[in-house]
Structure 1
């Protein structure tokens, strides 16, 4: 179907150094809320068709879009036109692509929430006020606002799918993310919005349980890197690591030295690999795209436990989502528990571990 492109693209300087990607056929300025406007902090309703802006671009943006649609929300992908065109081959959903836009829509009074969900450091410091301060939200204010941000101090700095050594800008990217987070925390939205941290991102396609067929991206995303065996590692996350850990703030789950020792004492190399893909074995600083996408959607469907919130059951204002070895995504009830009682998953004991039998058809 033809792409729906709104003529009034108002995300000036949306991407760091790439503002020209967001052009407009009109020169009028955006409508803006005052900096003192209240943000509603109201949970969106599953199945309501509530429109949510997803500001990218990234594969995570696409995963969140599919998860949001499954929950009965209406995601609006915002990205440069070239990205939208290329995303069509990965998301395999004409309806989502037809709603995609290169900027904020002209139609006002329909959008209820926004999620910033780029995997790369591309946001300018003015983006938050531009998008969150827009006066086109339903009811006059943004009900839910979420910023997806990488861990500031991962244990192992994994390279992203598209990382190339000739464009190594790690230090610059760290500063861009730091400036973005500081801008968020100094903005009025910080009192009622959420920062959702993620580790190095893996998976996000369909090579796993049947539940992924509706929310997964095309399998071609597994082969987006030139790194040896990367596609197998990506697939392993979708097959075995869909479980979630929710940690308060910007945090990792450091593997204790004692855990390392007891694993070596009790397991062979082959057994260690088998042990790590079952029993809720936690990741230190890695996240499945499906898992964080689910966390974001579940957060949209709950209020934020913000600075001025009286809702003790809300979502923490800043938390980290890491994976663990469970072959299914958490249920709604399990997300309730994770948000209410955040903390790192326990490291399982390998004592007495028995290698699972290999089915005859694989022998």
Structure 2
């Protein structure tokens, strides 16, 4: 196991009717800005619950944060904060709203060009406004980590940043808030969480037995509940297990002391930035091809994944690896997520542009060993056609 320094200060408040606890958790004299995406949070009553829980505090709103939150929109929120002197933020939504709120919290305190936060991947962030989240879409784990991904629409640039200053102070996880989600968003959440685990698990062995078993358990849980959620998405226990699994998939626990990949995400980000494909759906396209192209480097963990996650023990090693990759692809497709570029009318003519974006954004040494070159990214994209 590699050395590590694990830190996570976010309080999780999990269960039914937990939004009411905002009153005890938010400072009594806070000037609150509630941030959200579309109108679903208002229509399903979540925004009203938040406002009621906050009592007589000074509460304002900022809506319209997009999926794949746009820098241009987020800067409007920063301007509102600086004008109205808000000092506590509450994100109501899924990963995009929470990611956007992390950037807003940092940018509102930042001197200089706010986009440089993204260009330095957060290394120049020294402070941020305090914030919390009310999760309505389980997928990204942003409710319990210090990372975010932001898009600059003008340049089709999608970059990640991390900072210890942007952990949520607390996050409220009420599984009933997911009952009205469209099936597509639930499926996206299952796949997003699944690939988050894989990026930290399917690398090479370092004898991190605890992290491996945690990861395998999370993957098996998603495989078990994913198809059931497609036909029973108001089942509280299924929703609760998805919500907690997605949080644990990216709160730092399973990634402590192990090598991490993230190349599927970096390639996927370029597909989202350029073509607007849902984040989780880019992951479903890239991951099976990535595993196929890099099967030699990932051989030991692929065999472990085949046996422990999918129960594949028959056949020679190559056959078991083939079967595990096929099972992964079939799982994604069973949830309604295509696993090829052609399903989105993309072909060989688009690969040069995607590789060019990776190079322009410095994504030239990806993977757990930093040896995934643009040429290997090209091979992955070709394998995903």
**TM-score (ref. length: structure 2):** 0.27
From the two aligned structures, give the one with the greater helix fraction: 2
**TM-score (ref. length: structure 1):** 0.29
